[in-house]
Amino acid sequence: MDKLTVRDVPVRGKRVLVRVDFNVPLDKERGAVTDDTRIKESLPTIRYLMDNGARVVLMSHLGRPDGKVVGSLRMGGVAKRLSELLGKPVRTVADCIGPEVEKAVGQLQAGEVVLLENIRFHAEEEKNDAAFSQALARLGDVFVNDAFGTTHRAHASTVGVTRYLPSVAGLLVEKELKALGQALEEPARPFAALVGGAKISDKMGVVGNILKKLDLLLIGGGMAATFLKVKGLEVGGSLVEVDRIVWAEKMMREAEESRVRLLLPVDFVVSEKPDGSAPSQTVRANAIPARSLVVDIGPETVKSFSAELRKCKTVLWNGPMGIFEVPGFASGTRAMAELLAGLNATTIVGGGSTAEAVVNMGLKDRMTHVSTGGGASLTFLEGETLPGVAALQDKK
């Protein structure tokens, strides 16, 4: 990574303004955090700053308040959980900018932590407003971006503040960029990508960018239907993005020309309802009933995908194999997660729903890396610039 990190700048005695991604699910009635994965991922950066005598000022968004104060989206529950994880009290304030907030930050002692109120209570945050960015920057002497999941957004708290403060990467952002970058640039081979999800349009950029770097591409999930259509197969009521058929045909042709093996499912679990309220059955890929839609890959596909993935030394996975939120349609996704968890290989799991599935299945710690950023990891894998990273200081 060619960006300076928090280890490269003096922090002792300084106010360090840290953008974290504490956009975590809450219990609606109690306001308590129900999944603290994202909080735990930023603990190394926070502890590093505390241990090195910084005065730590954390800022994050929570939910989608659309520029208004929403009581259920206040940061109190997040601060409580962070306090428990750190074993030290975390202060809170009533806003994220203004004289009272500046006063509270000024009273911080070395090693103490304050969590600002939800920055998206201000519409200026998502507009990357200059005055709002300056108001945030007045709270710090140094800025650290440790919110990888928001680095694809040019907001005040990710890009705007970098115009007014020395700005470096946190340890989580460093870890994410190294893991994803190494998978693409220096993979141990054979190198495979397992790509799924409902829509082919969501993964076009990723597949297009990494295809020629791969040895093996496996397509699962609902998006496989569009590839089957290219082969002249009927896919029943499955979603087919007609305007993407030409692109899918092009990818299949490029894979063949580049000697990248492309595997499609040979069987599927199908149903007439995506919510599990109708019966399901397993059928061959060339025998999908007219009114049925693909809801999961089938057992024969699991076997064929597994046999190929066991030969690989690097596997990048982005996108579930079916509608895993419905228990009856989660078998394919679970099978792939369990397989990757047991491989003697580098296993990189993209963020978003794929990461959610792996975490829910209790397999996160058995993967080499599980990304915290859905949109950010997709943008990176597409070969696009992450504004929140580009704005940080270069090592050179």
Give the active site residues. Answer: 38, 199, 352, 375
Cα(70)–Cα(67) distance, integer angstroms: 9
The one-letter amino acid code at 154 reads A
Distances, alpha carbon 54 to alpha carbons 10, 96, 162, 228, 311, in Å? 9, 19, 19, 56, 47
The burial of 106, by beta-carbon neighbours within 10 Å (0-12 exposed, 13-18 middle, 19 or more buried), is given as: exposed
- Paired with 55 in beta bridges are 15
Are 368 and 334 a contacting pair, CB within 8 Å? no
Q: What is the DSSP string of 210-241?
A: HGGG-SEEEE-STTHHHHHHHTT---TTS---
Cα(269)–Cα(321) distance, integer angstroms: 11
Are 114 and 56 a contacting pair, CB within 8 Å? yes
Cα(44)–Cα(114) distance, integer angstroms: 16
Q: In what side-by-side order are the strands of the sheet with 15-19?
A: 90-92, 113-115, 55-59, 15-19, 142-145, 167-169
Q: Which of 54, 61, 35, 48 is nearest to 5 (CA)?
A: 48
Distances, alpha carbon 236 to alpha carbons 67, 193, 282, in Å? 43, 27, 14
- Paired with 283 in beta bridges are 268
58: its two tokens: 């954390």
